[in-house]
């Protein structure tokens, strides 16, 4: 059975993606620091007839990332699919963005993805099989976010990292792509403390050509496509999934 690991899979886009990959026949490693939520996602996949297990993982910890991937390599000979999704987005508006807050977000959102790709790539390359999808955002990949400089910088960095890693791993038949979501109805965007909140999202939806926010499952379906053989000639790309928002600006 093919193995897939999804980071940040306890909630939101990660949870939706994990469930879709379970449906597609992967053994899904549902990884997150949120144990209760991660266990629930893995249980839901199993109850639907799929194969999954929860694994505790803080992507900000290099040793933990290496250990989780090493265990998967030992059991499955390597991952077939990696979804680097875990991220945080605390508001830290200028001029109060501190070094510590910048480092925290870059460490999780950008370096966390590096840690997973770096750990998973050797076994993928040895097998000459594997696909990686990083979750970016239009905030950084296409546009800015005024009170989230650190988040935008990390998401922009993902675009560059995906291009470079795709070039490096292509000779071994390992593909690397990214998805850049727009306004997606998740707990993150509905947070009034750190994002738009319900009222702000309702206003933002009017600016989207499709006149609605996206669903986490709609991002998960694009990720599943990029991991599949249907996308066998796509690598190094960042696919924007935003209901037409950025082309209409």
Closest alpha carbon to 71 in 63, 191, 86, 185: 63
Q: Is the dihedral of CA 117, 4, 184, 60 positive or negative?
A: negative
Residue with tokens 């009034």: 192
Q: 26, 54, 94, 151: which is the annotated catalytic residue?
A: 151
Answer whether 41's CB lies under 8 Å from 19's CB. yes
Strand segments, DSSP code E, in 136-184 are 174-181
Closest alpha carbon to 178 in 189, 163, 191, 167: 163
In three-state secondary structure terms, 74 is helix
Residue with tokens 């694994």: 55
In three-state secondary structure terms, 63 is helix
Q: For residue 151, indicate whether it is catalytic.
A: yes
Q: Is the dihedral of CA 85, 34, 185, 21 positive or negative?
A: positive
Task: Determine the Cα–Cα distance for residues 10 and 14; give it in Å rounded to an integer.
Answer: 7
Phi, psi (degrees; rounded to nearest 5) at 117: -60, -45
Structure tokens at 169: 């791993």
Q: 25: how many CB neighbours lie within 10 A of its CB?
A: 13
Q: Dihedral angle at the C-alpha atoms of 80, 85, 86, 87, nearest 10 degrees? A: 160
Instruction: Supply the residues annotated as catalytic.
Output: 151
């Amino acid at each position: 059975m093919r193995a897939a690991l999804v980071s940040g899979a306890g909630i939101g886009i990660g949870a939706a993606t994990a469930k879709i990959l379970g449906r597609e026949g992967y053994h899904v490693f549902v990884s997150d620091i949120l144990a209760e939520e991660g266990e629930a996602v893995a249980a839901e996949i199993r109850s639907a007839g799929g194969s999954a297990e929860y694994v505790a993982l803080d992507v900000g910890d290099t040793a933990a990332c290496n250990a989780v991937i090493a265990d998967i390599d030992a059991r499955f000979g390597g991952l077939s699919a990696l979804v680097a999704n875990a991220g945080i987005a605390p508001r830290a508006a200028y001029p109060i963005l501190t070094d510590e807050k910048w480092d925290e977000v870059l460490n999780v959102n950008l370096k966390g993805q590096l840690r997973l790709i770096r750990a998973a790539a050797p076994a993928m390359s040895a097998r000459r099989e594997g696909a990686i999808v990083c979750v970016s955002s239009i905030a950084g990949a296409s546009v800015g976010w005024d009170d989230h400089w650190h988040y935008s910088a990390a998401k922009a960095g993902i675009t560059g990292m995906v291009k470079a890693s795709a070039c490096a791993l292509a000779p071994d038949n390992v593909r690397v792509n990214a998805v850049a979501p727009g306004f997606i109805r998740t707990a993150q965007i509905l947070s009034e403390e750190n994002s738009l909140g319900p009222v702000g999202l309702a206003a933002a939806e009017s600016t989207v050509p499709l006149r609605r926010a996206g669903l986490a499952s709609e991002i998960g379906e694009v990720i599943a496509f990029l991991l599949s053989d249907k996308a066998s000639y796509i690598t190094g790309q960042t696919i924007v999934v935003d209901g037409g928002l950025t082309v209409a600006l």
